[in-house]
């Protein structure tokens, strides 16, 4: 087995035992990038030189007997909306095609021992479900190159699935980690809102955005999550509290765990093969001692609408700063200020971004605020209350991650509403600020991966990971890297 095929836990052990070096691991992953990146297109920037330099530094420190974190030397991909000091950070947009942040995101400060192999492709400003709206190029699904990897963190998911990274960070505003994890057959965690600092994550929708990990095993995701979580004085919305111990691997114990299946997530619109795969996973968990019960989350059907209004409203404000003055793209030959703004923004943003900025501007504009934005916020409170009530009777909620397997590239590009429907199972989790974990649970008729979503009460990441581990132990690992063809 090549080093790039290993999980982070395995690699970490090998490096600790000096059975391999960080440089060898980095070279193995960079070798895989050289082989398959032309087909997958997971990256916007590959940071080969920096990665090798960091790997050698780690090896040097290890040789000196320094105590290193478990993530030291692990090759990692970082979504290109997470600011990396001195390294191009584009958000997949022409608007930031040349932006080099002079600061690190807090998560990067917490991962100083990791070996960053590159900045992963994404839908422009994280707005999309297919990774097709990047200004730079589209990313293909490693399990079937004609399929989308899901979005918006499609590059991060594809990199991990294709062995072009061992771990990756993505961001999730309405499903942008869980959907690509599901489509690419890997594990992805959207942490509780506030569990991971957003400082340095280029904002899409501030009240919903959350950074989270991708990996090819539950342990790997747990390991990366424990490294990045925790309160941050730079992010007022981050929660100062106790977080899972970084050395405590998920237990795999689900005895007595009450798992709720909300009927609204298994009804019309969900493919039969998806339902069957998820129910099969449910029966495995039941066999291992979990208690399964049907529940109801009646407002689910309205969540997507509320999500689009809230996220677009915040986005319209967050993206107003891109005006050609301080950083990024600036239109040439403009006469006055207004022309500079309008030309820069019209040329620098893609259509999906413009659509959302305009939707957000509309719902906040004078005369429409109460009917749209305020109503969406009311609905948000109602959805949160329904989840809270549900969690009085169960420890976890289990749903499909998406109604179906990955769709073909180009299939939904001209129909925003159809594209948005891919997020129907995931947005509620962001709306309610809960943790959500997507775990592979089989394949569809097209041989593309399917995923199930575990949802917990706030800060119950450990419960999600424990349950996912139980399923992984029984159903086999998710780590196999497909033949890229």
Partner 1 sequence: MKIDIQHIAKLARLSIEEDKAAMFEKQMEDIVAMCENLPEITAGFDPVDPDHPMALRRDEITPSFPREDILKNAPHSQAGCVVVPRTVE
Partner 2 sequence: MNNYEIVVGLEVHAELNTATKIYCGCKNSFGSAVNSNCCPICTGMPGTLPTLNEKVVEYAIKMGHALNCEIHPICKQDRKNYFYPDLPKAYQISQFDIPLCGKGYLDVILDDEGTTKRIGVTRIHIEEDAGKLIHDDSFEGSLVDFNRCGVPLIEIVSEPDMRSSAEAKAYLETIKSILQYIDISDCKMQEGSIRCDINVSVHKPGEPFGTRCEMKNVNSFSGAVRAIEYEAARQIEVLEAGGVIHQETRRWDDPAGKSVLLRSKEDAQDYRYFPEPDLLTIVVPEQKVKDLRDTLPELPNHKTLRFMKELELPRFDANLLVESMEKGAFFEACVEKGSCKPKNISNWLLGDVTRLCNEKNIALADTRLTPERLCEMIAMIEKGEISGNAGKTVIEEIMFTEKTVAQVVKEKGLAQISDTGALDGIVQAVLAANEKSVADYKNGKTNAIGFLVGQCMRQSKGQGNPALIKELLLRYLG
Q: Please state the closest distance from residue 391 (CB atom) to partner 1, in A.
A: 17
Residue 346 binds partner 2, judged by CB under 8 A: no
Residue 297 binds partner 1, judged by CB under 8 A: no
Q: Which stretch binds partner 1 (CB under 8 A): 18-26, 160-168, 338-346, 466-474?
A: 338-346
Residue 137 binds partner 1, judged by CB under 8 A: no
Phi, psi of 188 (to 5 degrees): -145, 135
Options 73, 75, 92, 101; binder of partner 2; rule CB under 8 A: 101
Partner from partner 1, partner 2, none contacting 256, C-beta within 5 to 8 A by type: none
Options 31, 416, 444, 482; binder of partner 1; rule CB under 8 A: 416
Residue 371 binds partner 2, judged by CB under 8 A: no
Q: Which of 9, 129, 134, 152 is catalytic?
A: 152
CA dihedral (449, 454, 459, 463) positive or negative: negative
Distance of CA 250 to the CA centre of its chain: 20
Residue 79 known to be catalytic: yes
Options 375, 408, 411, 475; binder of partner 1; rule CB under 8 A: 375
Task: For partner 2, give the closer residue by CB, 99 or 183.
Answer: 99
Task: For partner 2, give the closer residue by CB, 81 or 274.
Answer: 81
Q: How, if at all, do strands 291-295 and 210-215 pair?
A: unpaired
Options 69, 206, 207, 382; binder of partner 1; rule CB under 8 A: 382
Options 230, 327, 411, 475; binder of partner 1; rule CB under 8 A: 327
Options 4, 43, 99, 307; binder of partner 2; rule CB under 8 A: 99
Residue 305 binds partner 1, judged by CB under 8 A: yes
Dist CA 76 CA 87 (whole Å): 14
DSSP assignment of 17-64 equals: TTSS-HHHHHHHHHHHHHHHHHHH--EEEE-HHHHHHHHHHHHHHHHT
In 3D space, the residue among 325, 361, 324, 326 whose CA is nearest the CA of residue 345 turns out to be: 324
Q: Interior CA angle at 262 toward 221 and 298, to 5°?
A: 125
Q: Measuring CA to CA, how many Å separate 307 from each of 91, 174, 354, 368, 377?
A: 21, 7, 17, 17, 9
According to DSSP, the residues that pair with 399 across neighbouring strands are 453
Q: Measuring CA to CA, how many Å separate 371 from each of 101, 214, 354, 364, 376?
A: 38, 38, 22, 10, 8
Catalytic residues: 79, 152, 176
Binding interface with partner 2 (CB under 8 A): 81-83, 89, 91, 96, 99, 101-103, 105, 198-203, 205-207, 233-237, 313-314, 316-317, 320-323, 325-327, 337, 341, 361, 364-366, 369, 373
């Amino acid at each position: 087995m090549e080093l790039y095929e290993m999980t982070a836990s395995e690699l970490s052990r090998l490096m600790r035992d000096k059975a391999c070096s960080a440089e060898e691991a980095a070279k193995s992953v960079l070798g895989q990038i050289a082989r398959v990146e032309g087909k997958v297109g997971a990256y916007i920037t590959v940071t080969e030189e920096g990665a090798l330099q960091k790997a050698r530094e780690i090896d040097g420190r290890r040789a000196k007997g320094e105590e290193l974190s478990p993530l030291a030397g692990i090759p990692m991909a970082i979504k290109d909306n997470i600011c990396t000091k001195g390294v191009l950070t584009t958000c997949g947009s022409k608007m930031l095609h040349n932006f080099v942040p002079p600061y690190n995101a807090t998560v990067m400060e917490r991962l100083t021992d990791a070996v960053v192999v590159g900045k992963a492709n994404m839908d422009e400003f994280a707005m999309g479900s297919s990774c097709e709206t990047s200004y730079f190029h589209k990313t293909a699904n490693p399990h079937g190159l004609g399929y989308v990897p899901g979005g918006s963190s499609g590059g991060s998911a594809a990199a991990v699935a294709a062995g072009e990274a061992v771990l990756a960070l993505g961001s999730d505003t309405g499903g942008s980690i869980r959907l690509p994890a599901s489509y690419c057959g890997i594990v992805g965690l959207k942490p509780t809102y506030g569990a991971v600092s957003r400082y340095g994550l280029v904002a899409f929708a501030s009240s919903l955005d959350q950074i989270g990990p991708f990996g090819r095993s539950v342990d790997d995701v747990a390991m990366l999550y424990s490294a990045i979580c925790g309160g941050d004085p730079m992010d007022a919305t981050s929660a100062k509290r106790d977080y899972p111990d970084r050395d405590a691997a998920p237990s795999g114990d689900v005895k007595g765990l009450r798992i709720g299946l909300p009927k609204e997530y298994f009804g019309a619109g969900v493919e039969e093969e998806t339902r069957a795969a998820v129910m099969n996973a449910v029966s495995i968990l039941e066999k291992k001692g979990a208690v399964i019960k049907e529940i109801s989350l009646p407002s689910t059907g309205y969540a997507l609408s509320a999500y689009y209004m809230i996220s677009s409203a915040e986005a319209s404000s967050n993206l107003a700063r891109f005006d050609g003055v301080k950083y990024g793209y600036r239109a040439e030959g403009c006469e006055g200020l207004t022309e500079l703004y309008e030309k820069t923004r019209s040329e620098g943003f893609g259509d999906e971004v413009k659509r959302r900025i305009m939707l957000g501007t509309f719902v906040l504009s004078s005369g429409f605020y109460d009917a749209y934005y305020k109503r969406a916020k009311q609905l948000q409170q109602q959805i949160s209350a329904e989840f809270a009530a549900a969690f009085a009777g169960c420890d976890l909620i289990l749903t499909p991650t998406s109604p179906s397997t990955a769709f073909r590239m180009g299939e939904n590009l001209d129909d925003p509403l159809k594209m948005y429907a891919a997020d129907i199972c995931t947005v509620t989790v962001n709306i309610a600020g809960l943790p959500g974990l997507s775990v592979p649970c089989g394949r569809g008729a097209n041989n593309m991966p399917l995923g199930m979503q575990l949802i917990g009460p706030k800060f119950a990441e450990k419960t999600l990971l424990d349950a996912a581990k139980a399923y992984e132990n029984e159903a086999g690992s998710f780590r196999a890297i497909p033949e890229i063809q």
